[in-house]
Amino acid sequence: MSGGDAPTTPPLASGPGGPDALRPLLATVLDALATGAEERGGPLPAGGPETVTARVADALGDALPDTGDPDALHTLVRTLAAGAADPADPLCAAHLHCPPLAVATAADLAASALNPSLDSWDQAPAASALEAAVARTLARTAGLADALVTTGGTESNQLALLLAREAHGTDLRLVCGTAAHHSLPRAAWLLGLPDPVLIPTPRGTLDPAALDETLTALPGPVLVAATAGTTDTGLIDPLPEIAGLCTAHGARLHIDAAYGAGLLFSDRHRDKLAGLEAAHTVTLDLHKLGWQPVAAGLLAVARPGELTTLHQHTDYLNADDDTEAGLPDLLGRSLRTTRRPDILKIAVTLRTLGRSGLGALADQVCARAREFAALIREHPGFELYAPPVISTVLFRPAEADDTAVAAVRRRLLHEGRAVLGRARPDGRLWLKVTVLNPHTRPDDLAHLLKLAEGSTPA
């Protein structure tokens, strides 16, 4: 803009001019992503928090300048990429933090451009129909009837506890293993439920005998939460036995399959989830073993009638006469109001890859994890925690104490050479690798082990 000219109104992403306005901006974004990744040169930036914070401050300058900067898109995307922990790098393998598929990310761009909001049909006509159909398909794949779309495992677990409380009352007690995700006891706290009963899991999974004893001793309504893919070790609770005990004791069953649900796509590994279909509710999360950009959570429910408890009437979104006239009432499908169509990227991924395509990705990461475990087992300098059940591998330098194990992780982080996780499943500290990148090769994992070896204090 030159002096005296009226400011131009920035173009919109949707509408007839949207695609043409986006095209050059996308070219800018893609260039900035490539430049930033090149500057980073590895799985994460070297130098630790101080270096990264200084670089961000430098690139950002004044976050709300009086007049705008047309280069801000390139500058900030490049800075974000240069300072990213990139899950597409095979040496970035700490968390349940997956590299998103390009096709899913491209679909997510369309969701941002069109900006449908799933709180009323008049803001999302096609998106609401797509969500209903795809969520139901995913629920049926898990052996349940319907599913709500959530922001991830935490929101799904909270909704599961809410539905259980509404079905059984505020005396409902959550029973789960100590290896269960922290969002479960936190949801009990949030919902004002009695303190949960946490059963010790010294072997990493919920022991049916210990659960039986607990359920026998507990009066009142109980919600048992089992886990299919624990956060720390990737183990799967004995679901059929737990389901049988819940039936015998009249307890409700929730299964947190935020990690493990991705195995449903795999012919080779699906059997590990036998018992899932016996749950009242199941947490699924395709931004873990599903290669989606965040957010991509679901809560599958066995009894869709229970969802009426979420019903909300608000005249501007679901007036009775509109509903009677046939406009779908969407408010009861979430506790949120404005809601992104996260289902679009999921739908595009399911249709593009098909079940077998997704299953092949799951098989691949599970196979890589087994190979990594074998490398560790054969290496005299390392100890393996256990053979992987999904794609999590815990290991530690054989002679190191916990302080040295923690130092290995932080040194690799500081040098920007690898992102390893940590877990303390048995009181000792272990390094954790969660293989979620289907492009990871055996050589990458051998390199990762060498890096850990080279960073172990003598």
Ligand X SMILES: Cc1ncc(COP(=O)(O)O)c(C=O)c1O
- The residue within the footprint of ligand X, chosen from 237, 285, 342, 444 (CB under 6 A), is 285
Q: What is the dihedral of CA 127, 130, 136, 138, to 10 degrees?
A: -100
Of 150-158, 239-247, 322-330, 338-346, which segment contacts ligand X by CB under 6 A? 150-158
Q: How far is CA 130 from CA 125, 134, 137, 353, in A?
A: 9, 6, 11, 17
- Closest by Cα among 203, 204, 173 to 187: 173
State which residue, 111 or 286, has the beta carbon closest to ligand X.
Answer: 286
Q: Does 284 bind ligand X (CB under 6 A)?
A: no
Of 371, 387, 379, nearest to 456 by C-alpha is 379
The least CB distance from residue 323 to ligand X, in Å, is 32
CB of 256 to ligand X, least distance (A): 5
Distance CA 258, CA 383 (A): 28
In this complex, which beta carbon is closest to ligand X, that of residue 236 or of residue 375? 236
Q: Per-residue x/- marks for ligand X, 85-104, CB under 6 A?
A: -----------x--------
Q: How far apart are CA 286 and CA 291, in angstroms?
A: 6
Which residue among 258, 286, 301, 348 contacts ligand X (CB under 6 A)? 258
Q: Which stretch in 14-22, 254-262, 374-382, 392-400 sits in contact with ligand X by CB under 6 A? A: 254-262
C-beta of 36 vs 177, nearer to ligand X: 177
Task: Indicate the residue among 45 and 153 with the shorter CB distance to ligand X.
Answer: 153
List the one residue from 227, 334, 437, 456 that touches ligand X (CB under 6 A): 227
Q: Is 363 near ligand X (CB under 6 A)?
A: no
Kindly state whether residue 231 participates in binding ligand X, applying the rule CB under 6 A: yes
Of the residues 43, 90, 99, 152, which one makes contact with ligand X according to CB under 6 A: 152
| The token pair that represents 236 in the structure block | 């799967």
Our finding on whether 259 is near ligand X (CB under 6 A) is yes
DSSP states of 134-200: HHHHHHHHTTSSEEEEESSHHHHHHHHHHHHHHHH-TT-EEEEETTS-THHHHHHHHTTPPPPEEEP
Q: Does 153 bind ligand X (CB under 6 A)?
A: yes
Cis peptide before 295 (omega within 30 of 0): yes
To the nearest whole angstrom, how small is the minimum distance from the Cβ of residue 425 to ligand X?
13
Look-up of token digits 């006239």 = 325
Report the DSSP beta bridge partners of residue 63. none
Pattern of binders to ligand X over 410-429, x per CB under 6 A? Answer: --------------------
Question: Rule CB under 6 A: is residue 237 a binding residue for ligand X?
Answer: no
CB of 304 to ligand X, least distance (A): 23
- Check binding of 281 to ligand X (CB under 6 A): no
Compute CA distances 203 → 158, 397, 421, 425, whole Å.
Answer: 26, 21, 20, 8
Q: Which stretch binds ligand X (CB under 6 A): 27-35, 73-81, 133-141, 256-264?
A: 256-264
**Cβ 55 vs Cβ 71: under 8 Å:** no
Binding flag, residue 256, ligand X (CB under 6 A): yes
Edge-to-edge strands, sheet with 146-150: 146-150, 297-301, 281-285, 252-257, 222-227, 173-177, 197-199
Coil/strand/helix, residue 13: coil
Residue type, 32: A
Pick the piece of the chain touching ligand X (CB under 6 A) from 37-45, 58-66, 226-234, 416-424. 226-234
The nearer residue to ligand X, 92 or 449, going by C-beta atoms, is 92
Looking at residue 53, the DSSP 8-state letter turns out to be H
In this chain, which stretch among 74-82, 133-141, 148-156, 391-399 interacts with ligand X, using CB under 6 A?
Answer: 148-156
Q: Does 201 bind ligand X (CB under 6 A)?
A: no
Cα torsion 293, 423, 440, 255: sign: negative
What binding mask, one character per residue, do residues 172-191 give for ligand X by CB under 6 A, x or -? ---------x-x--------
Would you give the DSSP letter of residue 79?
A: H
Residue ranges that bind ligand X, judged by CB under 6 A? 96, 152-154, 157, 181, 183, 227, 229, 231, 256, 258-259, 285, 297
